[in-house]
Amino acid sequence: MANVTPPYADPGRASFEELDTYLQNFLLAGSHPELKPAFSAPIPNSVNYAQFTVVGKNSSGQLIPATWDATTPVKAIGVLVHAVALGASGSANGSFWYSGCFNMDSLVWDASFDTEAKKLAAFEGSPTPTTIIVAKRG
């Protein structure tokens, strides 16, 4: 893992993150709820998810992108820690954070989250132990 020291957005507010790849300076938008160690869950075959994708679970308990859809929504339960891909066969797990205060502009959203209001409400009513708040950084 590479240590990246991003510049300070404002004096007195540190922003250090340790990731395999460097995509955003400001993944987190606050310190409460605190970022907890990641959970792991299986992913389905033939997928390629970007780092920081907002994920839910399908009926088989596999991680898939969360969706805001009136007919078949997938409730958001976490944020993917690392990019993950799997071919047509095999098995793999994806790690996801289930707790933290995330900057909504740093996350990867499904196209169905087409408004800020939907993104801000994405984790409302998520099952336990999910404690994620999505906010604008600032």
Query: pLDDT tens digits for 32-43?
Result: 999 999 999 999
Q: Is the pLDDT of residue 102 over 90?
A: yes
105/19 Cα distance (integer angstroms): 17
Domains and CATH numbers, the chain: 32-135 (2.40.300.10)
pLDDT for the residue 82: 94
Across the range 120-135, mean pLDDT stands at 94
- Across the chain, mean pLDDT equals 86
Q: Return the higher-pLDDT residue of 17 and 126.
A: 126
The CA–CA distances, whole Å, from 86 to 98, 129, 138 equal: 22, 27, 36
pTM given for the model:
0.80
Q: Return the higher-pLDDT residue of 18 and 106.
A: 106
Query: pLDDT tens digits for 55-83?
Result: 999 999 999 999 998 788 999 999 999 99
60/67 Cα distance (integer angstroms): 16
Q: How confident is the model at residue 9 (pLDDT cuts 50, 70, 90)?
A: low
Residues in CB range of 59: below 8 A, 6 or more apart: none
The least confident of 23-27, 51-55, 68-72, 128-132 is: 23-27
Pair of tokens at residue 135: 């906010």
pLDDT for the residue 79: 97
DSSP 66-116: -B--SSS-B---EEESS-EEE-SSS--EEEEE-EEEEEGGGSB--TT--SH
